[in-house]
Amino acid sequence: MLPILQSEWFKLRKAKIVSVLFTGPLAGFLLGFTIHGDVPEGVNPWHILLLFMNVIYALLFLPLMTGVLAGLICRYEHQAGGWKQLLTLPVTRGKVFTGKYIILMALVLFIQLLYLGAVYGVGWAKGFTEPFPLEIVWKSIFGGWIASFPLVALQLWMSILFKNFAAPLAVNAVFTLPAILAVQSERFGPYYPWGQPFLMMYIGGGDGVFFVPWEQLLLVVGGSFLVFFLGGYIYFQRKAV
């Protein structure tokens, strides 16, 4: 498995991914920096900041950028017979699929950490004096990462399926945009996979290990992860190359 990961990372890091990694955190930073809300007495300004930044970052940029990354990690395989060459090497398709998925999840975690940096950066630039609510922020950062597991799996599947770079992105947008409405609904929000990054990063949520109840995490995030990951995995096994 390790050689596959090394080879995959080697190919991907030469594919101009830096700007993609920074887009989401940068958008969050700019929004956080420009917005000026009144902070009510007794409320930690870090909380308000995080609430604002999450709206644009967790609801839009995080899900959309995972789609772009998944598209990039498959693009060079589609362009000029890459799949063919890769799969005639002594590798199994299962390992290739899992390898690409692991690389993507590692990058999403990296984006989340950049976002953490962006949040801290805004507060620092604005001169917040209150202590940084480390525990809450970590919960939000890791929650968002875990919520993106199924989304990345689906995007990887779609990116392998479509030779065209834009098609999987369109699929992603079609599911991501309604999340803006879905998360406002108490009935549908908890069940909508594309709304989960926002809900799991939303610091106003419950106070368990994450901001959403375990049932929701296992059922919605875990369930959709299984469906999307296995769907993509099985599709790739059978794909004619």
Q: Which residues bind other proteins (CB under 8 A)?
A: 3-4, 6-7, 10-11, 14-16, 76, 79-82, 84-92, 240-241
Output 86 or 141, the one with its CB closest to other proteins.
Answer: 86
DSSP letter, residue 1: -
Supply the minimum distance, in Å, between the C-beta of residue 77 and other proteins. 8
Output 92 or 184, the one with its CB closest to other proteins.
Answer: 92
Supply the minimum distance, in Å, between the C-beta of residue 229 and other proteins. 23
Supply the minimum distance, in Å, between the C-beta of residue 71 and other proteins. 14
Supply the minimum distance, in Å, between the C-beta of residue 52 and other proteins. 37
Output 10 or 215, the one with its CB closest to other proteins.
Answer: 10
Output 16 or 36, the one with its CB closest to other proteins.
Answer: 16
Nearest residue to 11 via CA among 85, 67, 61 = 85
Q: How far is the CA of 20 from the CAs of 12, 17, 61, 81, 179, in angstroms?
A: 12, 5, 10, 25, 21
Q: What are phi and psi of 207, to 5 degrees?
A: -115, 45
DSSP per position, 174-230: HHHTTHHHHTT-TTTGGG-GGGHHHHHH-TTS-SSSSSS-HHHIIIIIIHHHHHHHH
Supply the minimum distance, in Å, between the C-beta of residue 79 and other proteins. 5
Output 18 or 80, the one with its CB closest to other proteins.
Answer: 80
Helices 62-79 & 134-161 angle (0-180, nearest 10): 30
